[in-house]
Structure 1
Amino acid sequence: MFETIELTKRGRIAQLLLNRPDSMNAMNGKMMKELADCFESLQQDSTVQVLIIRGEGRAFSAGGDIKEMMDPENPMDIDVVMKDVSRLAKALYTLPQITVAVIHGASAGLAFSMALACDYVIAEENSKLAMNFIGIGLVPDGGGHFFMKERVGVAKAKQIIWAGQKLKAHDALSKGLIEEVTAEGRGLEHAEIYAAVAIASPLKAKLATKHILHQTKVEELVHVLEMEAAAQSAMRKSADHIEGIQAFVEKRKPEFKGH
């Protein structure tokens, strides 16, 4: 059914695997569309009550696929992509399941926004978490502003987004961005334990609480996604973004001019 992701169900627990390991699960246009489609299909699936999201290979996900952004023959259509990114974020935030992100290796950019949207985030201790859009002159998307603000508040969200630094798991935990740190290679095991405990709890009540808390915020999330899409489209045309991308490809320090 999907080419870039894999959804498996066992009883009331499902696992969603980001499955482009040769690209560190970088999110190309197809993956973004498939994630949005998958989350929207899960909206209607009352048989699943817990969803674990993880990455195949060396990383959770390196974020948006910069190679596809740079492809001169088949460039990424940012406006089409942003529609799928917005669908993805809204569907994930409003899922009628408890969502658990399991991070190992890198979780950067859009992938970090997606992890922050989950109800419970587990990171292995050597993982690197980065809201690093600023490094290529872009703004967070996928609801990154909204999910960051929900977790740490406006003042801290600004500082983390502006810094764009790579955080180790314990740093992310101390900042309130994630819920749990595990030893290397133990993230999925801990997620499965968390899911089993959730299944054995009054899950209907927990999901009702999630619905109440999230539904009051959906309108705000939709507004943020609209503003992110407009800002990202504008930033893609900026001199700083072009310089940031060129510096990334040439493996040098960018020289930003603020325009």
Structure 2
Amino acid sequence: MEEVVHVQYEGNIATVTMNRPEAMNAVNIQMMEELEEVFRDLKERTDIQIVLLKGEGRAFSAGGDIKQMLSNELTDRMDEVMDIVGNMATHMYQSPQIMVSYIQGAAAGIGLSMALASDYIVAERAGKIAMNFIGIGLVPDGGGHFFLKERLGTERAKQLIWRGKVMDVEEAYRLGLVDEIIENGDTASFETFIKKLQQAPLKSMQETKYILRSANYEQLEQMLQKEKVGQLKMKDTADYREGIEAFVEKRAPKFQGK
């Protein structure tokens, strides 16, 4: 089976690329497993100080793979899959490296959860941001609740999750969900951003990251467990079935709170 996550090393930088461009880098089980392994291994790499996370093609990641959500494969492995998702989020948050996510196109659902685990989110101006699990009757996973709470606070995070709104990058920047905006396709500006980061006292930055984040490791683990329990509940609801059917049929869902 061909790998769907590619890792390239150059000096003290590792570039992690989600490589399912034909599916807008929708996250399937294989991609989750590969990302979990990559970020687990990177935690042990003292020679790597910067990690870049990006998507191949015209999107960062459109979220979970809806086709796989409809399959028995996901249903049969749901408990295991939620553990993989949780491990992936934990490895990313505990990463000793300075992590940068580069968003072009869509960063939605679990794709946005992954971006939010980063230290910097750089987005092209035409990008779209959405924590839109609620559109198919699910709750955010991959640490989405935790990462939004960190950036927005509890009440604003809750409202954003409930709305499931697709935001443009300007709005996401105003909210604090994006740290830098660059023009569409302006790779030169992004390369300049990375060069400046390379010239910073990275050891000092890494230590500050550890000091600030280590106090929250236990809270992240607890919230990931609650996301797992909640998602397993949601998978059995009528609203989830309606949400998936509506998505496939390209119509507005008719939820009943059941």
Q: Which residue of 1 aligns with 2:196?
A: 197
3-state DSSP class of the match of 1:44?
coil
Q: Which residue of 1 aligns with 2:8?
A: 8
* Aligned mates of 1:8, 1:166 — CA distance in 2: 31
3-state DSSP class of the match of 1:126?
coil
Q: Which residue of 2 aligns with 1:50?
A: 50
C-alpha deviations, 1:179-200, integer Å up to 9, x for none?
A: 01111112x4444322221221
* Aligned mates of 2:189, 2:113 — CA distance in 1: 21
* Aligned mates of 2:128, 2:197 — CA distance in 1: 27
**228-237 vs 194-203, which deviates more?**
194-203
* Aligned mates of 1:180, 1:78 — CA distance in 2: 35
**90-99 vs 188-197, which deviates more?**
188-197
Unaligned runs of 5+ in 1: none
Q: Are the aligned partners of 1:13 and 1:195 in contact in 2 as well (CA < 8 Å)?
A: no
* Aligned mates of 1:110, 1:2 — CA distance in 2: 22
C-alpha deviations, 1:122-160, integer Å up to 9, x for none?
A: 111111110000000000000000000100111110111
**Matched letter for residue 11 of structure 1:** G
Q: Which residue of 1 aligns with 2:176?
A: 176
Q: Which residue of 1 aligns with 2:78?
A: 78
Q: Residues 184 and 82 (structure 1 numbering): CA distance in 2 closer, same or farther, change over 3 Å?
A: same
After TM superposition, where is structure 1 displaced by more than 4 Å over at least 4 residues in a row? none
Q: Which residue of 2 aligns with 1:230?
A: 229
Q: Are the aligned partners of 2:106 and 2:128 in contact in 1 as well (CA < 8 Å)?
A: yes
Q: Which residue of 1 aligns with 2:165?
A: 165
Q: Which residue of 1 aligns with 2:121?
A: 121
**Matched letter for residue 80 of structure 1:** E
Superposed CA RMSD in Å reads 1.3
3-state DSSP class of the match of 1:159?
helix
Given the two structures, how large is their TM-score scaled by the length of structure 1?
0.96
Question: How far did residue 2 of structure 1 move?
Answer: 7.0
The equivalences for 1:1-259 within 5 A come to 3-72=3-72, 74-76=73-75, 77-186=77-186, 188-259=187-258
Given the two structures, how large is their TM-score scaled by the length of structure 2?
0.97
3-state DSSP class of the match of 2:8?
strand
Q: Residues 92 and 225 (structure 1 numbering): CA distance in 2 closer, same or farther, change over 3 Å?
A: same
Aligned-residue sequence identity (percent) comes to 46
